[in-house]
Structure formats: structure tokens, C-alpha cells
């Protein structure tokens, strides 16, 4: 099984067993992909930041992978998850966030963002996009002058 399939399975299980929490480094999207480990949080100085810190940069440069993902990719997945849930990133406890961060609706929106990012990292079309299923192509938005 490749990294994409493994990640999707772990996120699916976390969602359905109520082990998904955007405010917990072990139970967020990346925490679950990494078997509920919070070791990944040492790759950046802020939860939801795209910037690797010294430790993250070293791991990135030596080619270290976590469950098949590079440190920079893990940060991108987490940002997509947090933004999908409605968080302002980087995450701060006094920043904008959803009213109910662990509601199924909020978590599903976050998972849609994370899954879209996982697809992008694999170079595959989004599995969340149903336009192919319905053979639909959105029309370009007309901008009036």
C-alpha cells in the first residue's frame, strides 16, 4: 500500500472513531497519519506554519521521511486541514477558529482540505471532486466591467 492509501485509511479511521482533533498535535491530520505521534510538531515553531525550523530543515535536507512524507509536505497537509476546519494559520489559541472544532461538519471540511492536499502531493486529481462523477465542467466566472 502506498503512502496516500495509508494516510487516507488513517484519516478515515480517526474521523469515525472520534480521534480527530485539530487542536491536538497527536489527533490532528498529521498526528493521525503519523500513528498519533506528536514528534512532527518539532519540525516547525508554530502549529499551522509552513516554515520549517532548524530541526525541520535538517530533516528535510537529509531526506528524512515520516510515513513517506517529507517534513515540508507534513506542514502543508496540516495547514490544509486547519484551514479547512476554519482556523487562521498559524494556529493561535486567541486566533480565528471554528465555534465547535470537533463537530463532524468542521472535521469533515478539514479532511476535505487535507485530502485535496494529499492528492496534490501525489499529482492525482482530487478524489473529493465529484465533477468527474457527474461529467460536469464549471463555467468560467464572467466578470463585468
**Residue 126 pLDDT:** 85
* String of DSSP letters for the chain: --HHHHHHHHHHHHHHTT---TT-TTTSHHHHHTTS--GGGGGSSSTT-S---HHHHHHHHTT--BTTB-HHHHHHHHHHHHHHHT--SS--TTS---SSTTSHHHHHHHHHHHHHHHHHHHT---TT--TTTTT--PPPPP---
**Residue 75 pLDDT:** 97
Give 69's strand partners: 66
**Residue 95 pLDDT:** 86
**Residue 127 pLDDT:** 82
pLDDT < 70: residue spans in the chain: 1, 130-139, 141-145
pTM for this entry:
0.87
Give the tens place of pLDDT for each residue, 83-115: 999 999 988 878 899 999 999 999 999 999 999
Amino acid at each position: 500500500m502506498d503512502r496516500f492509501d495509508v494516510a487516507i485509511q488513517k484519516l478515515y479511521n480517526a474521523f469515525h472513531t472520534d480521534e480527530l482533533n485539530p487542536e491536538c498535535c497527536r489527533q490532528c491530520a498529521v498526528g493521525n497519519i503519523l500513528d498519533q505521534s506528536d514528534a512532527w510538531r518539532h519540525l516547525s515553531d508554530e502549529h499551522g506554519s509552513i516554515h520549517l525550523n532548524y530541526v525541520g530543515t535538517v530533516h528535510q535536507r537529509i531526506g528524512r521521511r515520516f510515513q513517506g512524507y517529507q517534513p515540508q509536505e507534513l506542514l502543508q497537509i496540516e495547514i490544509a486541514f486547519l484551514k479547512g476546519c476554519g482556523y487562521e494559520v498559524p494556529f493561535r489559541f486567541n486566533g480565528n477558529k471554528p465555534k465547535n472544532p470537533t463537530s463532524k461538519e468542521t472535521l469533515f471540511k478539514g479532511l476535505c482540505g487535507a485530502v485535496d492536499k494529499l492528492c496534490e502531493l501525489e499529482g492525482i486529481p482530487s478524489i473529493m471532486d465529484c465533477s468527474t462523477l457527474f461529467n460536469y465542467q464549471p463555467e468560467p466566472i464572467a466578470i463585468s466591467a
